[in-house]
Amino acid sequence: MASYQGHLAYASILGAAYGCMGALQMDLDWGPVFLGAGLTTLGGLLPDLDSDSGVPIRELFNLAGVVIPLLLLRRLHRHGFSIEETLVLVGAAFLLIRFGVSRLFCRLTVHRGMFHSIPAMLIAGLTVFLIYQSPDLNLRLYASGAVMLGFLSHLVLDELYSVDFMGARVKLNKFAGSALKFWSSSRLATFTTYLLLGVLIWAAWREVAPTMGEQPSTPAPATPGST
């Protein structure tokens, strides 16, 4: 199993590369570039939120408690909240994540369960996509790509560390296949993960569909005799 520091180092290097790519290839401003680099790093630490113990977990939930409300700012602004109301809501979101969600999360997840999986990576990406409201679709995709890249790097690193290189022989240890997976032995956890993934895909599609071609998303089917 790769350590917290290992994941942090690996994900921050990837984040720097992802930020550079955004600046050079997509011509992004420094704001989105650093946001992308930061989200990649955060994504690289996210899967170990399920490990229930230690300082990193508290740090991660603190960080998530700050980052998520900040990403929500544009959405709150769009709904016409005043500065004071926005501050109250951001503070409430922090408390909810830091003390509510973190406790629930620790109770519901097991280490190396469904939170270390490909669908969980997609859930993280879609969550960022939905929270981060920007009129520019490319920016939203860039931000969600960042968190997914970091998440994937974590899964790959965990998987690599489950391989013991004994000379020329490669031996798998007991954690093999527990990171880069599509389902777990718990049917309930697998089902819940895919249900959440389905809901998020639906929500993202609902936001994106109207902007594509400006066509009505669901034209009424022409049934005989309806006119």
91 vs 76: CA distance, rounded Å: 13
Q: Which is nearer to Zn ion, 28 or 152 (CB)?
A: 152
- Shortest approach of Zn ion to residue 111 CB, angstroms? 8
Q: Which is nearer to Zn ion, 128 or 152 (CB)?
A: 152
- Shortest approach of Zn ion to residue 163 CB, angstroms? 15
Q: Which is nearer to Zn ion, 48 or 93 (CB)?
A: 48
- Shortest approach of Zn ion to residue 109 CB, angstroms? 12
DSSP 3-state of 172: strand
Q: Which residues contact 174 (CB under 8 A, 6 or more apart)?
A: 162
**Contact call for residues 151 and 226 (beta carbons, < 8 A):** no
- Shortest approach of Zn ion to residue 158 CB, angstroms? 4
Q: Which is nearer to Zn ion, 47 or 150 (CB)?
A: 47
Q: Which is nearer to Zn ion, 10 or 94 (CB)?
A: 10
Residue type for 208, please?
A: V
**Contact call for residues 170 and 180 (beta carbons, < 8 A):** no
Main-chain phi, psi angles of 182, to 5 degrees = -105, -20
Q: Which is nearer to Zn ion, 57 or 158 (CB)?
A: 158
**Contact call for residues 97 and 172 (beta carbons, < 8 A):** no
Interface residues with Zn ion (CB under 5 A) are 47-48, 158
- Shortest approach of Zn ion to residue 154 CB, angstroms? 6
- Shortest approach of Zn ion to residue 86 CB, angstroms? 35
**Contact call for residues 36 and 150 (beta carbons, < 8 A):** no
